[in-house]
């Protein structure tokens, strides 16, 4: 075991941090929120320039050959400043789906375009009735000559409006809840029959509901084996859990630093509130929780490439519960320690709170994974 980042990883973090230091002050971020995209295309171009958009892709596809650890470190840096750009949906979710299931031709068509910043993806799996159940898919894909026709709707698709291509799951066989019979399709966002209704999410990013009405795709748009999509979806979800765990660690660090600083400067009853032991102990608890959460983000990261499915699933579930609970505790405490100012939209801490809240619910909340773990006890 060795938990120290390598020199290359350190350099990566340094360069990302430097770039975010220039581009991602809280006031700058407010400016990006106000743009029509809800994020900054200029910053997105800088991500491309820095190589971040191709980070986890093989060099033959214009990538940098990074792995889960590099993604975790970048996401951690993103979490510290609450990056708004569709990195998670494009590179982590979409990128993983193409990496895991794509043919050489699909990879060649998609990954280099992502890496250079000209293509954005969204991962449209969740449906209105499904809550967290990955097998609950009722969107259909029916054979039509040599292609397929998709019908159905997807909900709370992160960055669904921004995407140029949407990865859509649909039933090509079996019934609702069946593990077999789910297939993934690459759908052009502009294809006839695709309608997107965008809205603001609690974390300041944009999401969309997407309806598919008689949408035609070709055989070449099938991602992975027909009816074999669930295994891919699970890998995408696991990569998403690991990456967003890293993001949560960054957000917790930022909140803890902010809270510590505030406790040194906010004077009440003649002393900085950080001089009071009751506040100090809460800060100590927040720090301990952050470190336990960091351990869980590391667990998720080290698990996603574990070929043993049972132990991978188990460890990911442990990590998901742990990081979710940690993020919740630190966020709630950070607002509490700030008092009234922590309640304001103007101040940063509430934005971190809400990002952690959204991540906690991504692909299942702690209660959902705790129930899965409970089922395995004994």
Partner 1 sequence: MDLRFTPEELAFREEVRTFIRENLPADTRDRMKLGHPPRKEDTVRWQRILNAKGWAALSWPKEWGGPGWSAIQKMIFLEENLMAPAPELLSFNITMLGPVLLQFGTEEQKKRYLPRAANLDDWWCQGFSEPGAGSDLASLKTAAKLDGDHYVVNGQKIWTSTAHNADWCFLLVRTDPNARKRQEGISFLLVDMKTPGITVRPIISIDASHHLNEVFFDDVRVPVERRIHAENKGWDVAKYLLGNERTGIARLGKSRERVSSAVSMAREVNFGGKPLIEDPVFRQRVAQLQVDMKALEITQYRVVSAYDKAKGAGKPDPLSSVLKVKGTELLQATSELAVDVSGPYATPIWAQELEALNEPDDMMEASSAGTGGYLMLRAASIYGGTNEIQKNILTKAVLGL
| Binding site residues, partner 1, CB under 8 A | 1-6, 9, 69, 260, 263-264, 274-275, 277, 280-281, 283-285, 287-288, 291-296, 298-299, 301-302, 315, 318-319, 321-322, 325, 370-371, 373-378
- DSSP symbol at 94: I
Residue closer to partner 1, measured from CB, 175 or 308 = 308
Least distance between partner 1 and beta carbon 307 (Å): 12
301 versus 331: smaller Cβ distance to partner 1: 301
Cβ nearer to partner 1, comparing 7 with 345: 7
Min separation Cβ 109 and partner 1, Å:
32
- 198-234 burial code (b ≥16 CB/10 A, e <16): beebebbbbbbbbbbeebebeeebbbbebbbbbebbb
Q: Which is nearer to partner 1, 347 or 368 (CB)?
A: 368
- Residue 19, H or E segment: helix 7-23
C-alpha closest to that of 66 among 93, 91, 35: 91
329: nearest Cα among 285, 362, 367, 294: 285
Closer to partner 1 by Cβ: residue 14 or 346: 14
Nearer to partner 1, 79 or 274 (CB): 274
Least distance (Å) between residue 319 CB and partner 1 = 8
Q: How far is the CB of 261 from partner 1 (least distance, A)?
A: 10
Contact present, 303 and 315 (Cβ < 8 Å): yes
Q: Classify burial at 306, counting beta carbons within 10 Å of its beta carbon; exposed 0-12, middle 13-18, buried 19 or more.
A: middle
Q: Please give the angle made by the CA atoms of 187, 188 and 194, to the nearest 5 degrees.
A: 80
CA–CA distance, 320 with 363 (Å, rounded to integer): 10
Least Å distance, CB 374 to partner 1, is: 4
Shortest distance, CB of residue 1 to partner 1, whole angstroms? Answer: 5
Per the CB < 8 A criterion, the answer to whether 139 and 170 are in contact is yes
């Amino acid at each position: 075991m060795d938990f120290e980042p390598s020199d290359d990883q350190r350099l990566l973090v340094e360069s990302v941090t430097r770039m975010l230091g220039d581009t991602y002050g809280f006031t700058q971020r407010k400016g990006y929120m106000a743009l029509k995209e809800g994020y900054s295309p200029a910053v997105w171009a800088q991500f491309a320039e820095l190589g971040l958009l191709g980070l986890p892709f093989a060099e033959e596809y214009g990538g940098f050959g990074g792995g889960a650890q590099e993604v975790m470190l970048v996401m951690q840096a993103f979490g510290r400043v609450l990056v708004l750009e569709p990195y998670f949906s494009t590179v982590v979710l979409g990128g993983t789906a193409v990496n895991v299931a794509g043919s050489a031709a699909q990879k060649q068509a998609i990954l280099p375009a992502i890496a250079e910043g000209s293509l954005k993806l969204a991962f449209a799996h969740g449906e209105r009735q499904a809550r967290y159940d990955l097998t609950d898919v009722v969107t259909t894909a029916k054979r039509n000559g040599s292609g397929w026709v998709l019908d159905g709707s997807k909900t709370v698709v992160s960055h669904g409006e921004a995407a140029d291509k949407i990865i859509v799951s649909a039933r090509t066989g079996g019934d609702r809840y069946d593990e077999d019979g789910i297939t993934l399709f690459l759908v052009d966002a502009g294809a006839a029959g695709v309608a997107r209704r965008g809205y603001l999410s609690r974390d300041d990013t944009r999401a969309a509901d997407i309806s598919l009405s008689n949408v035609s795709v070709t055989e070449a748009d099938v991602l992975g084996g027909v009816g074999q999509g669930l295994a891919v979806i699970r890998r995408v979800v696991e990569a998403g859990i690991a990456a967003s765990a890293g993001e949560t660690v960054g957000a917790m660090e930022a909140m803890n630093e902010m809270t510590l600083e505030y406790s040194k400067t906010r004077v009440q009853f003649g002393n900085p509130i950080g001089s009071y032991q009751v506040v100090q102990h809460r800060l100590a608890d927040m720090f301990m929780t952050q470190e336990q959460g960091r351990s869980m983000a590391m667990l998720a990261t080290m698990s996603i490439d574990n070929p043993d499915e049972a132990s991978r699933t188990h460890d990911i579930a442990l990590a998901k519960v742990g990081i979710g609970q940690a993020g919740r505790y630190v966020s709630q405490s950070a607002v509490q320690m700030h008092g009234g100012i922590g309640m304001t939209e103007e101040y940063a801490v509430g934005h971190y709170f809400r990002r952690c809240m959204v991540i906690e619910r991504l692909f299942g909340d702690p209660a959902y994974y705790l129930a899965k773990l409970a089922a395995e006890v004994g």
